[in-house]
Structure formats: structure tokens, C-alpha cells
């Protein structure tokens, strides 16, 4: 048995029904490999391995868990990636391949896992797993909602997001202080013609002062007076849909190049 480690944000899922339900949340067939992040003792892994149409890999930072998996899951031989998911070069590990990402994600790095996925969106057509309930709500929130923010906008520009089901604290060891929820992200067929890093900068700058209108929250970008007259700048960031944020970024890019 592996002891959950607080510094790694480990809360091991112990309910097999929920583990099986999470394993079935991946639906697409345009990839051959599934990468599970943070498998711990393999409660979700055992169900993923039942899918003989997919090649299952796992990524684990905890040395004790790696040794447990090596000993108890011979099917994972040479498919355990030891290390921090946030530092992995996915293209180097899976060159030219499409992969799905799944997991019961550690709460302390959950938002960074989503940003890592967005940075590798060309490689990850589908993503599913368990987050803190509040993070799941933020990822799937629609514009006009209080939880709508940077994570919602950037994720929904590239993925269709679905809030699947909630999970009680009592099915974990140790029980976390918050509820959890499982979500699924399915990559869109067409990406907007705008640089991701530039788009991210615009969205982050806008939401840094979310109560102000865009005319004020984007002041640091030194926009032209002509551009600021556009009606979109009279809105607050939470009033813009993901597509409107794309249009906003395109207008700012075009303005800067004139």
C-alpha cells in the first residue's frame, strides 16, 4: 500500500464504481494512446487497461507509487513515465502521435494541468478527469457567470467542455475538504487564426481587473484611440463569449500592425 503524501496533494480514490465511470468518460477514437496522470495505486488504471483498443501509459511523480505500479501492473512495463507532468515534453515522448489525457488530478496543480493541455492542444484531442468542484465549474462556466474567467475562455476556445458528474469527499483517502467533479474536454475541429500566447495575454490582462470595462482593463496595451471607440471595449470581460475574445484579440493585433 502507498501512503498518500500531503505535499503531492494526493487523495487516493477508493470507490471502484466512480473509477470505472471516469474510465468510460473518454469517447473519441482519433487517438491510440491514453496517458493517465497521477495513477497512485492504479484504481483508475485497472479500468483503463480493460480497453484493449487503446495503448495505456501512466505518468507518476511519486517514487513509491511508481514501484507499486511496476510490481502490480505488469501490463505497464516500459509505459510508466516517472516525473512531473508539467515538465514533460509530450512531443518527445509520443512523437507525431495524438494522445488522450485522463486522471484523478492533484488539486494543487489542477489549473496548471489544464494550461499544459492547452499548450499541447494540437496533440491532445480529448481530456477527462476529476478536479476540485470549483475548478471544474470555472472550466465549464459560460460568459456572464461569476465563475467565468481566464480558464473558461482559453479552454472553451479550443475545446468543447462538459461537466459530467460530482463526487463526494467520502470516496477518497484521505477525504479532501472540498467536493470534486469530473469533466471532459473534446478538441474543436478548427482553431482560430490567432497566436495562443498573444490570446492568453489579452484574456489574462482583461480579467486582472474583471470589474472594469475593457477600455480600462486593457489600458496597459496602449491601444489606439480609434480602436477604443469600438463598442466591444464598453463591455466587462465576463460579458464576452470565448469567440468574442478571439475577435477582440484579432482587432488588437490588427490595430498594432497599422
Taking only the tens place, the pLDDT of each residue in 214-234 is 999 999 998 888 888 999 999
Report CA-CA distances (Å) from 15 to 11, 134, 162, 258: 12, 21, 22, 58
Average pLDDT over residues 202-207: 97
pLDDT averaged over the chain?
92
Q: Long-range contacts for 5-10 (Cβ within 8 Å, ≥24 apart)? A: 5/62, 8/61, 8/62, 8/106, 8/108, 9/106, 9/107, 9/108, 9/109, 10/38, 10/40, 10/62, 10/106
As a whole-number percent, the residues of the chain with pLDDT over 70 amount to: 94
Would you say residue 153 has pLDDT above 60? yes
Tens digits of residue pLDDT in 105-127? 988 899 999 999 999 999 999 99
Average pLDDT over residues 84-102: 97
pLDDT of residue 75: 95
Handedness of CA 227, 232, 233, 234 (dihedral sign): positive
Average pLDDT over residues 149-159: 98
Domains detected in the chain: 6-187 (3.40.50.150), 196-256 (1.10.8.100)
Average pLDDT over residues 142-170: 96
Would you say residue 197 has pLDDT above 90? yes
Structural contact between residues 85 and 37, judged by C-beta atoms closer than 8 angstroms: yes
pLDDT of residue 170: 87
Average pLDDT over residues 228-241: 94
**CA–CA gap between residue 105 and residue 87 (Å, rounded):** 15
Report CA-CA distances (Å) from 98 to 14, 52, 94: 30, 17, 8
pLDDT of residue 7: 61
Of 21-25, 86-90, 218-222, which range is least confident?
A: 218-222
Would you say residue 258 has pLDDT above 70? no
Question: First vs last Cα of the chain: how many Å apart?
Answer: 63
| pLDDT: which is higher, 62 or 89 | 89
C-alpha 75 chain-centroid distance: 27
Strand partners, 59: 37, 81
Would you say residue 208 has pLDDT above 90? yes
C-alpha R_g of the chain: 20
Decide: helix, strand or coil at residue 164.
strand
Amino acid at each position: 500500500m502507498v501512503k498518500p503524501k500531503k505535499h503531492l496533494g494526493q487523495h487516493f480514490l477508493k470507490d471502484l464504481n466512480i473509477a470505472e465511470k471516469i474510465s468510460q468518460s473518454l469517447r473519441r477514437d482519433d487517438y491510440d494512446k491514453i496517458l493517465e496522470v497521477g495513477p497512485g495505486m492504479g484504481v483508475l488504471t485497472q479500468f483503463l487497461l480493460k480497453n484493449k483498443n487503446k495503448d495505456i501509459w501512466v505518468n507518476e511523480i511519486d517514487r513509491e507509487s511508481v514501484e507499486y505500479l511496476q510490481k502490480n501492473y505488469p501490463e505497464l512495463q516500459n509505459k510508466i513515465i516517472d516525473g512531473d507532468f508539467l515538465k514533460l515534453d509530450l512531443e518527445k515522448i509520443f512523437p507525431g502521435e495524438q494522445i488522450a489525457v485522463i486522471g484523478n488530478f492533484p488539486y494543487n496543480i489542477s489549473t496548471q494541468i489544464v494550461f499544459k493541455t492547452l499548450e499541447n492542444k494540437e496533440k491532445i484531442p480529448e481530456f477527462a478527469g476529476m478536479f476540485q468542484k470549483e475548478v471544474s465549474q470555472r472550466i465549464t462556466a459560460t460568459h456572464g457567470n461569476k465563475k467565468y474567467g481566464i480558464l473558461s475562455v482559453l479552454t472553451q476556445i479550443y475545446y468543447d467542455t462538459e461537466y459530467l458528474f460530482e463526487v463526494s469527499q467520502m470516496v477518497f483517502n484521505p477525504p479532501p475538504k472540498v467536493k470534486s467533479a469530473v469533466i471532459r474536454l473534446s478538441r474543436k475541429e478548427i482553431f482560430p487564426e490567432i497566436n495562443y500566447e498573444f490570446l492568453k495575454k489579452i484574456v489574462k490582462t482583461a480579467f486582472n481587473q474583471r470589474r472594469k470595462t475593457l477600455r480600462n482593463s486593457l489600458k496597459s496595451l496602449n491601444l489606439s484611440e480609434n480602436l477604443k471607440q469600438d463598442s466591444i471595449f464598453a463591455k466587462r470581460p465576463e460579458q464576452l463569449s470565448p469567440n468574442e475574445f478571439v475577435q477582440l484579440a484579432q482587432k488588437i493585433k490588427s490595430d498594432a500592425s497599422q
